[in-house]
Amino acid sequence: MKKKVLAAALSLALCFSMVACGSDSGKNEDNQDTTVEQADSAEASEETSSDESDLQYVQDKGTLIVGITDFEPMDYQDENGNWIGFDADMATAFAKSLGVDVEFVEIDWDNKVLELDAKSIDCVWNGMTLTDEVTSSMACSNAYCNNAQVAIVKKDVADQYQTVESLKDLSFAVEAGSAGEAEVNALGYNCTPVKAQADALMEVAAGTSDAAVIDSLMAAAMVGEGTGYEDLTYTASFNSEEYGVGFRKGSDLAEKLNTFFADSYKDGSMKTTAEKYGVQAALVEQ
């Protein structure tokens, strides 16, 4: 009799144990479901944050930060240290249309995408050639100016270097990360990267490089009679290209700028600004 009672007690205890385990298992499943739901919620929140309007971000902080280099006639400083030029003036007008201030920051051209992604700047607006690399890594505006990469040599030897082929044995100075560097590298010519196109001109003037490759718009403004480099001139053209403005990938500011360009072209203010800096012939119809 005692054995039967003991057996019954053990069976009952086993049943309670199984029920308890089942209950705990249910709780564990519930906890796992909750954890998954929380993770999904966090991921959704992160996606929402990453989809924040770039326009709203700029307007909230009240400043459009423009990444540039010293590049006359697009971005350069006047005698008072203020940034002027066709691009600088257009950027200032665009910022005003957004209801924000403009701030110009000199950048290492080779790091322009990194600067954008880190939000150190909000756009790259500096006579930037719309290459495949640029358009794949930034949200870009429509083209607004035509351009070309041209060779810069000393005037007294210019007659020897009127074609790209004739330049093959020269040493070149080029801006690091520029379209000029890409052209020279593609041809396999010898080149030394420098910080800015203005530095490339200095290399040629000093005789430390035989030639430079820079933007034709800069060449027209910076070399030849009446400029600071009267003993330099430009000869062969390497290509034809177009300028655009770059924003962070996915930015809604690119389309906003396209609208601004179209309005500025239509009302004549873009042409007036271009004439001020002698680049009106390079304008692209908007």
- For residue 85, give Cα distances in angstroms to 73, 99, 197: 5, 21, 15
pLDDT at 51: 59
Q: Which residue in this structure is represented by tokens 């705990």?
A: 24
Strand runs labelled E in the chain? 63-68, 76-77, 83-84, 101-106, 123-129, 139-140, 145-147, 149-154, 171-175, 190-194, 211-215, 232-237, 241-247
Q: If the chain, 286 residues long, is cut into consecutive pieces of 10 residues, what is the mean pLDDT of each piece?
A: 40 41 44 44 40 91 97 96 98 98 96 97 97 96 97 97 97 96 97 96 98 96 93 96 97 98 98 96 96
DSSP characters for 146-168? EE-EEEEEEGGGGGG--SSGGGT
Residues 6+ apart with CB under 8 A from 30: none
pLDDT at 52: 77
Residues 6+ apart with CB under 8 A from 134: 128, 140, 244, 246
- For residue 246, give Cα distances in angstroms to 29, 94, 241, 259: 49, 14, 15, 15
Start-to-end Cα distance in the chain: 103
Q: Which two tokens stand for residue 256?
A: 């906003």
Contacts 24+ apart (CB under 8 A), 132-135: 134/244, 134/246, 135/244
- For residue 210, give Cα distances in angstroms to 193, 206, 235: 14, 9, 13
Homologous superfamily of the 54-146+242-282 domain (CATH): Periplasmic binding protein-like II (3.40.190.10)
From the list 252, 213, 13, the residue with the least C-alpha distance to 122 is: 252
Largest CA-CA distance found in the chain, in angstroms, rounded: 124
pLDDT at 33: 47
Determine whether domain 149-239 maps to CATH 3.40.190.10. yes
Residues 214, 175 contacting (CB under 8 angstroms): yes
Kind of pairing, strands 145-147 and 241-247?
A: antiparallel
Q: What are phi and psi of 186, to 5 degrees?
A: -65, -30
Q: pTM to 2 decimals?
A: 0.76
